[in-house]
A and B are shown apart, each in its own frame.
Chain A
């Protein structure tokens, strides 16, 4: 066949939205999107959340989450319009001609079934292969994707393999029925950078060796630049820019694309060393109850008043546990902590009200950190009442000031969390922490769930507030771009220990220890050929694969 494998023409997708307190209305999610995908090519769809990229990806399988409907345009797969296909015709398409790799393999695998059973399900269900043939192909794919013990890994259950492995098994599952097109929907977003690079390389190799076409959906332009031939930039459901990867990365035409390309290169000049320490952590060792493993081993760090200490490391490195130890939620076994010149009781129960007030915390998931049935004014007003006894007009005035400080304005006071965007929710959480007039705020992955441009706004806000209020941040993150943008000093954690610690410029300058080298080199760079170069120069294998 000579026509394109996938042809999307003037696509329009709508959904019914149910805003709280208002009648339901139809919203347009995607409009006027057109592209052709030839056999063996990879098209990257990139944009912030809400840009419609996943919606477009799923629509090429004629699938809409919730009440999402295809209302206009054409989608041709192998020349057939899938909008007019029967349910049986769609089942024949899904899992055979077009397959799907989801963002969270951990959630996308059935926990009650062995991996092999799930990997070969479509090949058997669509009667493409016999069971021995399908199993042999699956083992080949496991090997091709660099999975350990390819012969036996299929006998395992999803919870028995790591996240990076699971994502590769999911790729094998998508490739097993020899599809024409694979939709990769943020396949590496949930992984650590050190794991992401391996999975990315495995996916790229598998795409090349099987000659399959792919739609690669991500919010990370640097990632998509490594695998895609062409890139389409989307915003609010419309095409912003569509071109070859080289053109989008090196010669973006649109303002929005230029902002995406440059978002990673923000740098914040570090503050001069010195000043009084607000927090010292000395030789802290901690364990979770009942598990005889030191999750923190002999951790010592110091944070000066008004400064930012970034704690970086991959999942399982102990960085969030350090936050739990400092807040007293997980009392350390050994070691001592000093806060604002006072000895800090290890357990939260032994701390004074001032200790609690001056040490605040902001979380990754802003929406679950707020009571959905309280208004913004109640959420921000609560610490004002609790710590300062403010009531009535005095409280409302202070809430308005705080809303002003987070650049939201007092019009938001009566809103509920569900009516806010992700970035606004995180701002409200920041205001709630600020309400207590803290000396130190622990920020646990506060920008990880946000789109790059929104995250950038939050980081800028945090820096402004630091300059104005003199508050110190202990900033936990796995993202080194975020570290560059906000930190004064850095502690690199690996398996419960601080492996590198010092002022930002020292930590980020060679010579590196092996782990820091691995971590730094794993951060995708916005240029073509980065992936291959990096893999060729690695000294240390990442732990997560």
Chain B
């Protein structure tokens, strides 16, 4: 039996994504090799004897050629072994697990609020194109994206934690915390992240739908006496999915990969802080591991965007 063309397209996309991830892993490995400093020296400190350094290098396999070390590292990564942190000897996968979960938790709730909100605002902006609701939405979202994240963060903190005391200013989370407490703790960073990613998605939704609104079939719907908002939501939106979903995924990736500043502002124990800490300490294996995880998230979400775009095209889904 012949494969449905969509299936073969999807297989192609996924294979391409994996290939890209592999290429990125080479870059990450090569990049960290270029960083100045010697791992053995970093572990043992400046006072180590040459003999001790040589022993440790031998022990860590640092004398092997780069490609041998790369494949050894890659083999571990594929099996879920991200190596051991140099600074404290912890297993990276274990240490990162909790952090990654925290970051995902934050990103998830930010996305759950931001994506529907952005698309709804985009639809409203189209409905009232050029009138005051459109201008208001554009003005507000553009101002929040124009302010640096830490400024938005501190303003939110000042208003909601200091002035009105609705939420706590420090987003400490720990195991065994109740769901409600956890939600309350992440409220401020979620608000800041939503404000940061809203504008981009909203404007893309607006632009993509306005583009579709020029089509003859929109006129058909108008001549059928369909309500303006129904036309936008039911006739235009399904034809604008592909461009919108690409921007949505880009922003979702940002929620995971780009949260460093927000995490630092709210002292939230996520991936961003973890990465920053270990870059400062030159802990190469941790930096490599973070790089691979971030790349995987980025590539994975973009792959998902491609998949959704393909599936949203009726010509591909239902060939002649």
Q: Which residues of A have CB within 8 Å of B314?
A: 111-112, 157, 159
Q: Does B220 contact A (CB under 8 A)?
A: yes
CB-contact partner of A94 in B217, B224, B230, under 8 A: B224
Interface members, chain B 149-170 (any A CB < 8 Å) = none
Q: For the complex formed, measure the closest distance between the CB of B90 and the CB atoms of chain A, giving whole angstroms.
A: 51
Q: Does B277 contact A (CB under 8 A)?
A: no
Q: Does B238 contact A (CB under 8 A)?
A: yes
Q: In the complex, what distance in Å separates the CA atom of A328 from the CA atom of B312?
A: 37
CB-contact partner of B216 in A61, A90, A102, under 8 A: A102
Q: Does B69 contact A (CB under 8 A)?
A: no
Docked-complex contact A108 and B225, CB < 8 angstroms: no
Q: Mark B217-233, 1 if CB is under 8 A from A, else 0.
A: 10111111111001000
Q: Does A160 contact B (CB under 8 A)?
A: yes
Q: Which residues of A have CB within 8 Å of B318?
A: 156-157, 159-160
Q: Which residues of B have CB within 8 Å of A100?
A: 220, 223
Q: Does A447 contact B (CB under 8 A)?
A: no
Interface members, chain A 314-361 (any B CB < 8 Å) = none
With CB as the reference atom, state the residue of chain A lying closest to B222.
A63
Q: In the complex, what distance in Å separates the CA atom of A93 from the CA atom of B226?
A: 11
Docked-complex contact B225 and A112, CB < 8 angstroms: no
Docked-complex contact B224 and A99, CB < 8 angstroms: yes
Count of A-B residue pairs with CB < 8 Å? 74
Q: Which residues of B have CB within 8 Å of A160?
A: 318, 320
Q: Mark B64-77, 1 if CB is under 8 A from A, else 0.
A: 00000000000000
Interface members, chain A 92-111 (any B CB < 8 Å) = 92-96, 99-100, 102, 104, 107-111
Q: For the complex formed, measure the closest distance between the CB of A65 and the CB atoms of chain B, giving whole angstroms.
A: 7
Docked-complex contact B227 and A91, CB < 8 angstroms: yes
Q: Does B239 contact A (CB under 8 A)?
A: yes
Q: Does B235 contact A (CB under 8 A)?
A: yes
CB-contact partner of B225 in A58, A94, A107, A113, under 8 A: A94
Docked-complex contact A93 and B225, CB < 8 angstroms: yes
A110-B235 contact given A104-B216, A159-B320, CB 8 Å threshold = yes
Q: Does B2 contact A (CB under 8 A)?
A: no
A159-B315 contact given A109-B220, A113-B238, CB 8 Å threshold = yes
Q: In the complex, what distance in Å separates the CA atom of A58 from the CA atom of B220?
A: 11
Docked-complex contact B226 and A121, CB < 8 angstroms: yes
With CB as the reference atom, state the residue of chain A lying closest to B240.
A112
With CB as the reference atom, state the residue of chain A lying closest to B230.
A125
Interface members, chain A 147-174 (any B CB < 8 Å) = 156-157, 159-160
Q: Does A391 contact B (CB under 8 A)?
A: no
A112-B220 contact given A122-B225, A157-B314, A160-B320, CB 8 Å threshold = no
Number of B positions contacting A (CB below 8 A): 21
Q: In the complex, what distance in Å separates the CA atom of A113 from the CA atom of B237?
A: 11
Docked-complex contact A90 and B225, CB < 8 angstroms: yes
Q: Does A538 contact B (CB under 8 A)?
A: no
Q: Does A126 contact B (CB under 8 A)?
A: yes
A122-B238 contact given A107-B217, A109-B217, A160-B318, CB 8 Å threshold = no
Interface members, chain B 218-274 (any A CB < 8 Å) = 219-227, 230, 235, 238-239
Q: Which residues of A have CB within 8 Å of B238?
A: 110, 112-113
Q: In the complex, what distance in Å separates the CA atom of A160 from the CA atom of B216?
A: 18
Docked-complex contact A95 and B216, CB < 8 angstroms: no
Q: Which residues of B have CB within 8 Å of A112?
A: 238-239, 312, 314
Chain B: interface secondary structure?
helix
A107-B223 contact given A113-B238, A160-B318, CB 8 Å threshold = no
Q: Does B215 contact A (CB under 8 A)?
A: yes
CB-contact partner of A108 in B219, B226, B230, under 8 A: B219
Q: Which residues of B have CB within 8 Å of A108?
A: 216-217, 219-220
Q: Which residues of A have CB within 8 Å of B235?
A: 110, 113
Q: For the complex formed, measure the closest distance between the CB of A222 and the CB atoms of chain B, giving whole angstroms.
A: 26
A110-B217 contact given A159-B315, A160-B320, CB 8 Å threshold = yes
Docked-complex contact A102 and B220, CB < 8 angstroms: yes
Q: In the complex, what distance in Å separates the CA atom of A48 from the CA atom of B102?
A: 68
Q: In the complex, what distance in Å separates the CA atom of A100 from the CA atom of B239?
A: 22
With CB as the reference atom, state the residue of chain B lying closest to A61.
B223
With CB as the reference atom, state the residue of chain A lying closest to B314.
A157
Docked-complex contact B217 and A95, CB < 8 angstroms: no
Docked-complex contact B225 and A110, CB < 8 angstroms: no
With CB as the reference atom, state the residue of chain B lying closest to A90.
B225
Q: Which residues of A have CB within 8 Å of B222?
A: 63, 94
Interface members, chain B 197-228 (any A CB < 8 Å) = 215-217, 219-227
Interface members, chain A 163-219 (any B CB < 8 Å) = none
CB-contact partner of A125 in B215, B224, B315, under 8 A: B224
With CB as the reference atom, state the residue of chain A lying closest to B241.
A112
Q: For the complex formed, measure the closest distance between the CB of B290 and the CB atoms of chain A, giving whole angstroms.
A: 40
Q: For the complex formed, measure the closest distance between the CB of A113 and the CB atoms of chain B, giving whole angstroms.
A: 7
Q: In the complex, what distance in Å separates the CA atom of A126 from the CA atom of B227?
A: 11
Q: In the complex, what distance in Å separates the CA atom of A160 from the CA atom of B223?
A: 24
Q: For the complex formed, measure the closest distance between the CB of B3 and the CB atoms of chain A, giving whole angstroms.
A: 17
CB-contact partner of A99 in B223, B226, B230, B239, under 8 A: B223
CB-contact partner of A92 in B216, B225, B312, B315, under 8 A: B225
Docked-complex contact A111 and B315, CB < 8 angstroms: yes
Q: In the complex, what distance in Å separates the CA atom of A181 from the CA atom of B314?
A: 32
Docked-complex contact B223 and A111, CB < 8 angstroms: no
Q: For the complex formed, measure the closest distance between the CB of B314 and the CB atoms of chain A, giving whole angstroms.
A: 5
With CB as the reference atom, state the residue of chain B lying closest to A96.
B225
Q: Which residues of B have CB within 8 Å of A157?
A: 314-315, 318
CB-contact partner of A91 in B217, B225, B239, B315, under 8 A: B225
Q: In the complex, what distance in Å separates the CA atom of A100 from the CA atom of B315?
A: 26
Q: In the complex, what distance in Å separates the CA atom of A93 from the CA atom of B312?
A: 33
With CB as the reference atom, state the residue of chain B lying closest to A87.
B228
Q: For the complex formed, measure the closest distance between the CB of B312 and the CB atoms of chain A, giving whole angstroms.
A: 8
With CB as the reference atom, state the residue of chain B lying closest to A117.
B234
A95-B219 contact given A159-B315, A159-B320, CB 8 Å threshold = no
Q: For the complex formed, measure the closest distance between the CB of A173 and the CB atoms of chain B, giving whole angstroms.
A: 8
Q: Which residues of A have CB within 8 Å of B220?
A: 100, 102, 108-110
With CB as the reference atom, state the residue of chain A lying closest to B237.
A112
Q: In the complex, what distance in Å separates the CA atom of A61 from the CA atom of B320?
A: 35
Q: For the complex formed, measure the closest distance between the CB of A129 and the CB atoms of chain B, giving whole angstroms.
A: 14
Q: In the complex, what distance in Å separates the CA atom of A156 from the CA atom of B317?
A: 12
Q: Which residues of B have CB within 8 Å of A94?
A: 222-225
Q: Which residues of A have CB within 8 Å of B225?
A: 90-96, 122, 125-126
Q: In the complex, what distance in Å separates the CA atom of A93 from the CA atom of B239?
A: 27
Q: Which residues of A have CB within 8 Å of B223?
A: 58, 61, 63, 94-95, 99-100
Q: For the complex formed, measure the closest distance between the CB of B89 and the CB atoms of chain A, giving whole angstroms.
A: 56
With CB as the reference atom, state the residue of chain B lying closest to A109.
B217
A sample of 18 inter-chain contacts (CB < 8 A) reads A65-B219, A91-B225, A91-B226, A94-B224, A102-B216, A110-B238, A111-B217, A111-B314, A111-B315, A112-B238, A112-B314, A113-B238, A121-B224, A122-B224, A159-B314, A159-B315, A159-B318, A160-B320
- Closest 9 interchain pairs by CB? A95-B224, A94-B225, A95-B225, A107-B216, A91-B225, A112-B238, A110-B217, A100-B223, A108-B220
Which residues of A pack against B, CB within 8 Å? 58, 61, 63, 65, 90-96, 99-100, 102, 104, 107-113, 121-122, 125-126, 156-157, 159-160
14 further A-B contacts with Cβ under 8 Å, apart from A94-B224, A108-B217, A111-B217, are A61-B223, A92-B225, A95-B226, A99-B223, A108-B220, A110-B217, A110-B235, A112-B238, A113-B238, A121-B221, A125-B224, A126-B225, A157-B318, A159-B320
